[in-house]
Amino acid sequence: MMPGESLHHPMAMNQTTIHPGVRMGHVHLKVADLDRALGFYHGVLGFDITQRLGNSAAFLSAGGYHHHIGLNTWESQGGKPPVPGTTGLYHLAVLYPTQAALGDALRRLIEAGVLLDGAADHGVSEALYLRDPDGNGVELYWDRPKDEWPRDNAGQLAMYTRPLNLDKLLAAAEAEATTELKAQ
């Protein structure tokens, strides 16, 4: 089989589901300027740089993982974002462990002057939407506990999109920071 060649044509639908332990791993983004991208993902969002390959690539993570985000200029040095109406990545999503941690991310964005494209309460999660310096869509979110997810009368998931109270999000971050200071 050659690269790009399909095993079946047309694409056959698999009748079994994927293993429930499968998780999305990392994302590699083509960027125009590595230092500018690092200024956003490391400087604003706070990801740790785990490795840098000169001026062509860098790998970033949270919590000591090898990498959650790869940034490279291998095919994109000085490039421009895709024009609207083309296919490709809609957004990458960064999952925060708590509402307070997402509130801290919002604080970081405000301090850096990063504008939001949107913010939403989806019932299952609260999310912030923005663009990185290369125009890539970024979602920052936290999931509510599963037992709090909205359900319809039949017990099926009933997600929605409602306005997100950003003041409440910032207050959660402030309350956690205050609690941590008192504990010291």
What's the CATH code of the domain at 52?
A: 3.10.180.10
C-beta neighbour count of 37 within 10 angstroms: 24
Together in a domain, 130 and 179: yes
Q: Does some domain include residue 84?
A: no
Dump pLDDT digits (tens) for 107-128: 999 999 999 999 999 999 999 9
Per the structure, the count of domains in the chain is: 2
Together in a domain, 115 and 38: no
Dump pLDDT digits (tens) for 136-160: 999 999 999 999 999 999 999 999 9
Q: State what percent of residues in the chain have pLDDT above 70.
A: 93
Q: Does some domain include residue 147?
A: yes
Q: In which band, very low, low, confident or very high, does the pLDDT at 9 lie, cut at 50, 70 and 90?
A: low
Q: Does some domain include residue 111?
A: yes
Q: Does some domain include residue 60?
A: yes
State mean pLDDT over 67-74. Answer: 96
Q: Does some domain include residue 162?
A: yes
Q: Does some domain include residue 7?
A: no
Sequence-separated (6 or more) residues with CB below 8 Å from residue 141: 93, 94, 95, 96, 102, 125, 126, 127, 128
State the CATH number of the domain containing residue 175.
3.30.720.110
Domain that holds residue 39: 25-79
Amino acid 96: pLDDT: 96
**Residue 176's closest CA among 147, 148, 142?**
142
Two tokens, residue 118: 């949107």
Q: Does some domain include residue 74?
A: yes
Together in a domain, 180 and 114: yes
End residue of a domain, out of 47, 79, 111: 79
Q: Which helix (H) or strand (E) holds 177?
A: helix 166-183
Together in a domain, 170 and 113: yes
